[in-house]
Structure 1
Amino acid sequence: MHTTRNTVLEAWMKEHGHSSNSLADAVNTTLGCLTGRTGGLDGSSVRDWKAGRVKWPKSATRKALEEITGLPATALGFEPRGTSSTSAPPQEGTDTMKRRTLVGGIAAAATAAAAPGTATPRRIGMSDVDRLKKRFADIIASDHRHGGQLSLERQAAALADKALNLQNAGTATQRVRGNLYAAAAAFRSSAMWAAIDGRRYGDAKAHMREAQALAEMSGDQAIKFRIWSHTGTMYRHMGRPADALAANDVARNLHITRRDPMFASLGLARQTAIQGLAQDRTGTHRAFDQAQDAMFRADPGAFRPVWMLAFYDQAELDSLALSANLSLGDYQTAEFHAHRCLSELRPHMVRSRAIATTRLAHAQLAQGEVDAATATAMRVPADAATQHARVSRMLQEFGAALRATAPGSPTVQTWTEHVAAWRITA
């Protein structure tokens, strides 16, 4: 049977930096948000769409795609089965109107549920909070696989709104309401982090302001720490160490850092990276030693939020020390921390592995190890190299440094060919 490629979908994916695998993951996560059950698509499913072998995905999948892209399925190049009015999807204007009507209907229903004099207002409980926490865990997992994707930022922001909408959907205890605000702040902080990781700093600041307000209403110390710590990281990536230190100090001065040395360790680890950027060699080494000591003192069995359990460990501490020593120009020490980080990274830390590998290549090249550095850089997966903003930029800087170090060499030619292959396979 003759099939026509869906060039419209291909063009959208290219414009928004999606590979087949990353779009499949985004759809799966959005399906989880919409239906409560994460989807089972993979890269081959998306390749079937692009090749035209599947012209009209299932209704839930189409809805997830529309949530991610903001476009109706027909505007993404999909063709409905048959041509009758009952099977054809609405045009873009009608689709937008229906979405607005649906949102308005939900809001009206929520208001009616909470209004006095109605039959029985809905009772919002911890089971609703627990469902949100499960979706938050999915967001965290997706972030560690890919990081920085606009689709992830939008999903997290939409879930923050969902948590807030529950505040008006019925009655709840003060404890439940506090947990809903904390959930909304957590989702908004993940949207903020995705924007930071994707170098969309203007969007990150907007998410930051809303996240900070929600965290204050929740009274949750852990999420306050996360937001202010992310703020310090944002300013560090923007090259503003004074602002980064000020924001990170807010996180470090929260009383949760005195209750749990692991929070103190994370605050000091991020201070290590900031001090490196500020060219404070003594402060960098002091902060790292204190972070390591606090980690040793922390109770490994203590209860901690999922976002911290998912990423902060010895590997992350070494990753931040790697960043700090690169900034200081101490390339031998940076290489030491890179190897230790890579040896200890957990399997799900895909994005972190790509970043550490790229930084290791920079440390090796700065020490004159041209061939070893190039071999290291070539180990970065194609999707991270082409679709993750931070990794892409660091690899571009690596290529420029390589050409300056060994102009016209066979190694430069090898690197150039490898970069071209990345672009083809991504």
Structure 2
Amino acid sequence: MSTSRNATLEAWMAENGYSSNSLADAVNSAVGDLTGKVGGLDGSSVRDWKAGRVRWPKSATRVALEKVTGCSATDLGFLPRGRAPSPAAPAPPPEDPVERRRFLAAGTALAAATVTPSSGFSSRRIGTSDVDRLQARFTEIIASDHRHGGRLGIEQKSLALAGEALALQNSGSASQRVRAYVYACAAAFRSSAMWAAIDGRRFEEAMVHMREAQALAELSADPAIKFRIWSHAGTLYRHMGRPMEAMAANDVARSLSITRRDPLFASLGLARQAAIHGVAGNATAARRSFAQAQEAMDRADPRANRPVWMVSFYDQAELDSLALTGYLALGDYETAEAHAHRCLAALRPHMQRSRAIATTRLACAQLGQEDVGPAVATAMSVSRNAGAHHPRVARMLRSFHTRIRAMAPNSPTTRMWNQYAHATWKDSV
């Protein structure tokens, strides 16, 4: 039987920086999350997919692949059994960055207009069950972010779900309260697209998502989602090296009424403010804000009802992670290292992306103290998948690579690191 190559899958892998081996490893891990037993794929399995020799993976593998990529199996070029491929289907053209920007700039209205009837909505009464369904999908997005972070697939899926939420608004009648909830869901999805773009260092796209999310949040009148979006805006500007704008955006988040009602929101706002002070080089203000963030967290009621995005990530480990960020930026490497160890000891198991980032920052803090051996051991403990594919982790490790070669170019430890780095980054191309 003749086979045709799966050009769609090949294009997705090329765009997202996956080799056959690294995609197999990521899917195996996702199979383990789903079934409790790690999958048994290897590079040859993925090469069979690309060559068209396997046109429809087994069910558990297929679901795991969809979780890793954020795309459906059919969108990745696979064909359900019994369906014949088009006789002359051309390979999709490479994505034009200009067209992608136009698509993003078109905003959620375009996404809503293009939702197909398969979304399951029809003219009817919109109720809380619809909101519950959207919130369940939002929980899935949050879980994907904690596992992988920064993936283009997460950004695209969040954008599509924001469109579904807005399509729901136009599908029937609803109470004012339900409509506000649906707008809040749309804002939440768009803010997750924004966060994925920030984490993936796609700052231009993040700015577009930010503006759309802010408009949707105003329609929802939900102070929690407004806080999330403005707090993310502060983080976006911080990563862009614009601390004054970062501080202004974070101040908007901190001025919202929810920070006065719930000390945990106040704590997050203060901790992010402290990280911004670190980037700005203001050590006194950073230390003061971190102390205030800790005091607010200590006052917070752990039993309070909070949004899933807040409950799933902000705790003592995240506060220490932000302290690590701030003190590392200040060049206070000893204090940064102390917060790194506290963060890593307290991180919850599902925070895989956060663990990779904190471990990389710990290596940088150790190197800043000229502890070359421990620094290399720490850097080599970062998962190879994160080191090769997470933009923030990869960028920090490449900076680490440059610094250690300048600091100790001829040491056996540096040679060991060079071999490790070559193997890690070679696998990513």
Q: Shorter-normalised TM-score: what interval?
A: 0.7 to 0.9
Of residues 208-217 and 363-372 in structure 1, the stretch that sits farther from structure 2 once superposed is 363-372
Cα shift at 1:8? 6.9
Instruction: Give the letter aligned to residue 117 of structure 2.
Output: I
Cα shift at 1:200? 0.2
Alpha-carbon displacement from aligned partner over 1:89-114 (angstroms, at most 9, x marks no partner):
48658999xxx9x957639997xx5x
**What CA distance in whole angstroms lies between the structure 2 residues aligned with 1:220 and 1:158?**
21
Label 1:27 to 1:321 Cα distance change in 2 as closer, same or farther (>3 A).
closer
| Contact 2:3–2:53 under 8 Å retained in 1 | no
Count the aligned residue pairs: 398
Partner residue in 2 for 1:56: 55
Partner residue in 1 for 2:396: 394
Cα shift at 1:24? 4.2
Cα shift at 1:56? 1.5
**What CA distance in whole angstroms lies between the structure 1 residues aligned with 2:226 and 2:366?**
38
Root-mean-square deviation (CA, aligned residues, Å) is 3.6
Partner residue in 2 for 1:15: 15
Label 1:39 to 1:220 Cα distance change in 2 as closer, same or farther (>3 A).
farther
Alpha-carbon displacement from aligned partner over 1:145-186 (angstroms, at most 9, x marks no partner):
110000000000100110110001111111110000000000
Cα shift at 1:269? 0.4
| Contact 2:56–2:79 under 8 Å retained in 1 | no
Alpha-carbon displacement from aligned partner over 1:207-261 (angstroms, at most 9, x marks no partner):
0000000000000000000000000000000010000000000000000000000
| Contact 2:115–2:167 under 8 Å retained in 1 | no
Partner residue in 2 for 1:130: 132
Alpha-carbon displacement from aligned partner over 1:100-155 (angstroms, at most 9, x marks no partner):
9x957639997xx5xxxxxxx41110001001111101100100111000000000
Structure with the greater relative contact order (CA < 8 A, sep ≥ 6): 1 or 2? 2
**What CA distance in whole angstroms lies between the structure 1 residues aligned with 2:344 and 2:13?**
31
Q: How does 1:39-54 map to 2 (within 5 A)?
A: 44=40, 48-52=45-49
Instruction: Give the letter aligned to residue 88 of structure 1.
Output: P
Secondary structure of the 2:173 match is coil
**What CA distance in whole angstroms lies between the structure 1 residues aligned with 2:187 and 2:356?**
28
| Contact 1:68–1:155 under 8 Å retained in 2 | yes
Instruction: Give the letter aligned to residue 235 of structure 1.
Output: Y
Task: Return the match for 1:88 from 74, 85, 90.
Answer: 85
Label 1:349 to 1:69 Cα distance change in 2 as closer, same or farther (>3 A).
closer
**What CA distance in whole angstroms lies between the structure 2 residues aligned with 1:104 and 1:71?**
18
Partner residue in 2 for 1:204: 206
Partner residue in 2 for 1:141: 143
Cα shift at 1:15? 3.1
**What CA distance in whole angstroms lies between the structure 2 residues aligned with 1:183 and 1:252?**
22
Cα shift at 1:12? 3.6
Alpha-carbon displacement from aligned partner over 1:270-322 (angstroms, at most 9, x marks no partner):
00100011111110011000000000000010000000111100011011111
| Contact 1:124–1:172 under 8 Å retained in 2 | yes
Label 1:230 to 1:391 Cα distance change in 2 as closer, same or farther (>3 A).
same
Label 1:164 to 1:90 Cα distance change in 2 as closer, same or farther (>3 A).
farther
Unaligned stretches of 5+ residues in structure 1: 29-37, 114-120
TM-score, normalising length: structure 2? 0.83
Instruction: Give the letter aligned to residue 236 of structure 2.
Output: M
Partner residue in 2 for 1:354: 356
Cα shift at 1:408? 1.7
Of residues 52-61 and 218-227 in structure 1, the stretch that sits farther from structure 2 once superposed is 52-61
| Contact 2:115–2:164 under 8 Å retained in 1 | no
| Contact 1:80–1:89 under 8 Å retained in 2 | no
Q: How does 1:311-330 map to 2 (within 5 A)?
A: 311-330=313-332
Q: How does 1:113-192 map to 2 (within 5 A)?
A: 121-192=123-194
Q: Within the alignment, does 1:106 sit opposite 2:117 as a pair?
A: yes
Alpha-carbon displacement from aligned partner over 1:379-421 (angstroms, at most 9, x marks no partner):
0000100100000000000011101110121111101111122
Partner residue in 2 for 1:34: none
Q: Among the aligned pairs, what percent are the same residue? A: 56
Secondary structure of the 1:303 match is coil
| Contact 2:235–2:272 under 8 Å retained in 1 | yes
| Contact 1:163–1:180 under 8 Å retained in 2 | yes
Partner residue in 1 for 2:223: 221
**What CA distance in whole angstroms lies between the structure 1 residues aligned with 2:326 and 2:15?**
33
Label 1:255 to 1:272 Cα distance change in 2 as closer, same or farther (>3 A).
same
Unaligned stretches of 5+ residues in structure 2: 94-110
| Contact 1:198–1:388 under 8 Å retained in 2 | yes
